[in-house]
Amino acid sequence: MSTIQLKNIVKKYGDGYPAVNDVSLDIADGEFMILVGPSGCGKSTLLRMIVGLEDITSGDLLIDGKKVNQLAPRERNLAMVFQNYALYPHLSVFENIAFPLRLAKGRMSDAEIKTKVNQAADMLELREHLERKPANLSGGQRQRVAMGRAIVRDADAFLFDEPLSNLDAKLRGQMRTEISKMQRRLGITTVYVTHDQTEAMTLGDRVAVLKKGVLQQCASPRELYEQPVNLFVAGFIGSPPMNFLPATVTGDRLHLPFGEVEIHGPKADAIRQRQTVIAGIRPEYFKDAELGEEIDNGMEFRAVVDQTEWLGNDLYAYIPYEMDPSVQRTLDELDKELDGEGVRPQLVVNLDSRSLVSEGEEAHLVFDPSLMHVFDPETGECLTRDEDRAAQIARRSEDERRRALERAKARDAREQVRESA
């Protein structure tokens, strides 16, 4: 159990390119921290610096308050699980899990090793596979063996680099749940790299979003979703992604491609002096007005639908609009940063699947302008972020995390009492 602190961490490889640029993060004891971002943004580099496989160019790395920049990987007592598991093919599952214990020579008797491996195998449901070889296991089972090896070491923290990316979708879902349960149960500090949205949102107590080596925002999934600090985070988190619409300002009114909205309160103060801004509206903030869902002060509009996708539980409708050239450049750039496939000036709306909007026909839609974000088209900064609300979300998620850890501890204690009875 440990805290991990990163203070102004920089990594420059041989060519001088800062793969990680001035990243500071405080990871709490027992916290599940996710690192996300597009390919090449420095996630693996950051993880490898924490575990000691990569030198830190500048900045400090502290584990439990102690600077460890110069310590070799094995002196840091962290357990890393890689994407390709790195199992020994000639050893049985038992021996693969026991491997780190045998390495630490003489410290443990065979009986102790057996107890530890069996405990880990029980937790990971590998008990009946202990005598088998890795080649005969499924991808998910191999993954669990790799995790078992991390568990038996009593490491201070777990580090995962895209551990599930080789698995098929169903198994990925199962393993995600298992990792989450195991992490809570062990209460062990975890840093987990992924570029899978679902993993980031469901596993993380907090998620750190990186862009080109620079930390953009580190917050709970809910805060990232509801109160992003900039266009990049807003566009990266959420699927289908947030709609970014060109908007012009006159006084307290915002002209969107589909009509006009009046802005109230602090949001109005933030945009009043501007001319052009980018409005961000998530697909699910739109409703089909024909279904009679009431929205107070909702903005209603009619628009012709180009295409629909009915998925049973959702209905996506695509609605083209005219792009304002003054924000086109910003949105093109954003799209490139997000590894997108080119900006199409079309609104994506996620409606209730009961909706009857159809292709080529006019839809009658409504949305709540108070849910809209407004961004500076030059800097990408979110002008309407609600700091009070963000702080409130952060407090709640920290409370939730603590309670989950306490519940897990209480459950373990009960189980131990039962076992010894």
Ligand X SMILES: Nc1ncnc2c1ncn2[C@@H]1O[C@H](COP(=O)(O)OP(=O)(O)OP(=O)(O)O)[C@@H](O)[C@H]1O
Counting contacts by CB under 5 A, is residue 5 touching Mg ion? no
DSSP class of residue 382 equals: B
Site mask for Mg ion (CB under 5 A), range 23-52, x = bound: ---------------------x--------
Residue 208 C-beta: closest distance to Mg ion, Å: 14
Binding mask 127-166 for ligand X (x = CB under 6 A): ----------------------------------------
Of the pair 37, 228, the CB lying nearest Mg ion is at 37
CA distance 324 to 377: 12
How many whole angstroms separate alpha carbon 94 and alpha carbon 298?
Answer: 61
Map residue 79 onto helix, strand or coil: strand
Regarding 88 and contact with ligand X (CB under 6 A), the answer is no
Helices first, then strands: H and E counts in the chain: 12, 21
Min. distance of Cβ 361 from ligand X in angstroms? Answer: 41
What the block records as the tokens of 226 is: 């509801």
The answer to whether residues 353 and 308 touch, using CB atoms and an 8 Å cutoff, is no
Task: Out of 21, 44, 183, 220, point to the residue binding ligand X (CB under 6 A).
Answer: 44
Instruction: Give min distance, CB of 163 to Mg ion, in A.
Output: 12
21 sits near ligand X (criterion: CB under 6 A): no
339 binding ligand X? (CB under 6 A)? no
- Comparing CB distances to Mg ion, the nearer of 236 and 244 is 236
CB 59 within 8 A of CB 68: no
| Nearest residue (CB) to ligand X, 36 versus 327 | 36
Please select the residue that binds ligand X; options are 1, 8, 13, 115, rule is CB under 6 A: 13
Instruction: Take residue 407 and report the two structure tokens written for it.
Output: 């519940």
Q: Which residue of 5, 43, 96, 247 would you call a contact of ligand X, by CB under 6 A? A: 43
Q: Which stretch binds ligand X (CB under 6 A): 42-50, 119-127, 230-238, 332-340?
A: 42-50
Return d(Cα 59, Cα 326) in angstroms, integer.
40
Say how far apart CA 44 and CA 381 lie, in whole Å.
Answer: 27
Read off the amino acid at residue 70.
Answer: Q
H runs (alpha helix) in 93-247: 93-103, 110-123, 139-152, 169-186, 197-203, 221-226, 231-236
Question: One symbol per residue from 193 to 232: x for binding ligand X (CB under 6 A), - otherwise; what is it?
Answer: --x-------------------------------------
Measured in degrees and rounded to the nearest 5, phi and psi for residue 28 equal -75, 160
Binding residue (CB under 6 A) for ligand X from 2, 5, 45, 217: 45
The whole-angstrom separation of Cα 237 and Cα 235 is 6
| Distance of alpha carbon 367 from alpha carbon 273, whole angstroms | 25
CB-facing half-sphere around the CA of 128: CA atoms within 13 A = 0
Alpha helices in 312-353 (DSSP H): 325-337
Only segment of 12-20, 145-153, 292-300, 366-374 that touches ligand X (CB under 6 A): 12-20
The answer to whether 253 and 260 have CB atoms below 8 angstroms apart is: yes
Considering the complex, what minimum distance in angstroms separates the CB of residue 336 from ligand X?
Answer: 15
Burial class (CB in 10 A: 0-12, 13-18, 19+), 103: exposed
Which of ligand X, Mg ion, none has residue 19 at its interface (CB below 5 to 8 Å by kind)? ligand X
Nearer to ligand X, 44 or 216 (CB): 44
- Measured in degrees and rounded to the nearest 5, phi and psi for residue 222 equal -65, -40
Restricted to residues 67-86, the positions that interact with ligand X (CB under 6 A) are none
Nearest-approach distance from CB 70 to Mg ion, in angstroms: 24
Angle at 271 between CA 343 and CA 296, to 5 degrees: 85
Applying CB under 5 A, the site for Mg ion has a residue count of: 1
Nearest-approach distance from CB 388 to ligand X, in angstroms: 33
Residue whose CB is less far from ligand X, 13 or 88:
13
Mark the segment that binds ligand X (CB under 6 A) among 13-21, 227-235, 261-269, 306-314: 13-21
> Site residues (CB under 6 A) for ligand X?
13-14, 19, 37, 39-45, 195
> Site residues (CB under 5 A) for Mg ion?
44
